[in-house]
Structure 1
Amino acid sequence: MFFVFLRFAEHRAKAGALMAQHNAWLARGFEAGLFVLSGSLQPNAGGAILAQASDRAALEAMVAEDPFVAEGVVTAEIHAISPGRVDERLSFLAA
């Protein structure tokens, strides 16, 4: 499991023009079963994704396809996490 942090970068002003493409990229990640949750970093700092992936390289390749990443709107940080304790409502994430 991974947390992906997309923090606004140098070309942040391009975000509006690329939002539809970024949202389509997010939809592909959810449809593929790779993304479990996405949302905004507050206050107005970028975004975050919880990804369920067994292959870090595949996740890195997917993140590189994000138009926000490709155009320098955000920088991506990928952090692996090995759940040690999980609320029963989210037990499917620890599988």
Structure 2
Amino acid sequence: MYAVILRFADKARAPALMEAHKEWITRGFDDGVFLLVGGLQPDGGGAILAHGLPRADLEARVAQDPFVEHGVVHAEILEIAPGRTDARLAFLKAGQ
């Protein structure tokens, strides 16, 4: 499982790329990779929980985010090895 942190680097450019960024997010959900997407509060960027693919594939996917491509955000990928989960998240430990 991964947490992707997207911190603003050039927020002024975000509005011009927002629709393309939203389409990229939709593809992540459609592909079954993204579990959650939300904003960093207060107004610091975004965060994504991702699952089910190798790190290199996630890195390639994140690099395709228009916000990343155009320097609107800097991305950091944190890999999480779930040790204990609520029963509703047991699928995250499968295959470890």
Short-chain TM bin: over 0.9
Matched, 1:63 2:62: yes
| Number of equivalent positions | 94
TM-score, normalisation: structure 2? 0.93
Identity of aligned residues (%): 60
When normalised by structure 1's length, the TM-score is 0.94
Where does structure 1 lack aligned partners over 5 or more consecutive residues?
Answer: none
Instruction: Let me know the Cα RMSD of the aligned residues.
Output: 0.9
Structure 1: distance between partners of 2:89 and 2:36: 12
Give matches, 1:15-34, under 5 Å: 15-34=14-33
Secondary structure at 2:53's aligned position in 1?
coil
Q: Is the 8 A contact 1:7 1:45 kept in 2?
A: yes
Moved over 3 A (4+): none
Which AA in structure 2 matches 1:85?
Answer: R
Asked if the contact 1:2–1:53 (Cα under 8 Å) also holds between the matched residues in 2, the reply is: no
Aligned counterpart, 1:54? 53
Aligned to 2:77: 78
**Alignment partner of 1:6 is 2:3:** no
Which structure 2 residue ranges, 5 or more long, are not aligned?
A: none
